């Protein structure tokens, strides 16, 4: 099953790359899908080096933030993007402090806190402009559900909670596979003006 998931992610990247080359836009999403492939090499294929995989998934969310915050009408998206980076940074720092105080210092948990912060802000602000990028929004929501299930799978490493790993893994795959395909297909959706 792991290999099948990885193959789907690779196909999604290739599909997005083809759209980007032919249509000459949406490079941020294509780059994000490329880093998704890299992250999954560590998290799915190798099943170790989780911190490295999370670093690449953090890059993915930063690239998706670029797609979300770009003002497609006049290309003046730099200022709101900078303010969002500041807001995300403060939120992530607060989350890291809380995690360190409640649990203990752990690089994986720190990277998860940064990732969850970025992903949450992406979902919130994409929701505000959902009609303009609905397909991408659906893909990102499925991706979020996948990450919730991944979190549940790893919960036993930090708590005494027991879960049915087979069911949670199946739910994760059910969300992850279509999320990547939908995000890739969303790169073919022409916006009002060309986007990165």
3-state SS, one letter per residue, for 4-36: HHHHHHHHHHHHHHHHHHHHCCCHHHHHHHHHH
DSSP per-residue letters across 51-95: HHHHHHHHHHHHHHHHHHH--TTTS--HHHHHHHHHHHHHHHHHH
Residue 78, SS3? Answer: helix
Predicted confidence at residue 48, as pLDDT, reads 80
Whether residue 192 is predicted with pLDDT greater than 70 in this model: the reply is: no
The least confident of 38-52, 67-81, 84-98, 169-183 is: 67-81
Checking phi first, is residue 24 left (phi over 0); if not, alpha (psi -120 to 50) or beta? left
The 10s digit of each residue's pLDDT in 98-152 is: 888 887 778 888 899 899 999 999 999 888 887 888 899 999 999 999 999 998 8
Confidence label for 194 from pLDDT (cuts 50, 70 and 90) = very low
Predicted confidence at residue 152, as pLDDT, reads 87
Whether residue 35 is predicted with pLDDT greater than 50 in this model: the reply is: yes
The least confident of 69-83, 126-140, 156-170, 179-193 is: 69-83
For the chain, the average pLDDT equals 84
Q: Domain map of the chain by residue range?
A: 2-186
This prediction has a pTM of 0.85
At 28, list the tokens: 């941020």
Torsion sign across C-alpha atoms 100, 103, 106, 110: negative
Q: Which residue has the higher pLDDT, 72 or 12?
A: 12
Whether residue 57 is predicted with pLDDT greater than 90 in this model: the reply is: yes
Q: How far apart are CA 4 and CA 13, in angstroms?
A: 14
Whether residue 46 is predicted with pLDDT greater than 50 in this model: the reply is: yes
Question: How much of the chain exceeds pLDDT 90, in percent?
Answer: 33
């Amino acid at each position: 099953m792991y290999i099948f998931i990885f193959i789907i992610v690779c196909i999604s990247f290739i599909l997005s790359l083809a759209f980007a080359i032919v249509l000459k836009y949406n490079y941020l999403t294509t780059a994000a899908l490329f880093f998704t492939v890299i992250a999954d090499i560590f998290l799915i294929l190798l099943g170790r080096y989780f911190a490295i995989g999370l670093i690449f998934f953090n890059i993915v969310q930063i690239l998706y933030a670029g797609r979300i915050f770009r003002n497609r009408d006049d290309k003046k998206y730099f200022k709101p993007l900078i303010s969002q980076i500041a807001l995300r940074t403060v939120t992530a720092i607060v989350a890291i402090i809380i995690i360190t105080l409640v649990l203990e210092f752990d690089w994986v948990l720190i990277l998860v806190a940064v990732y969850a912060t970025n992903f949450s802000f992406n979902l919130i602000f994409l929701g505000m402009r959902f009609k303009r990028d609905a397909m991408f929004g659906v893909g990102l929501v499925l991706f979020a559900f996948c990450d919730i299930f991944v979190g549940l799978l790893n919960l036993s490493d930090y708590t005494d909670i027991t879960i049915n790993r087979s069911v949670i893994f199946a739910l994760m795959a059910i969300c992850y596979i279509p999320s990547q395909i939908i995000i890739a297909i969303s790169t073919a959706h022409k916006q009002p003006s060309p986007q990165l």
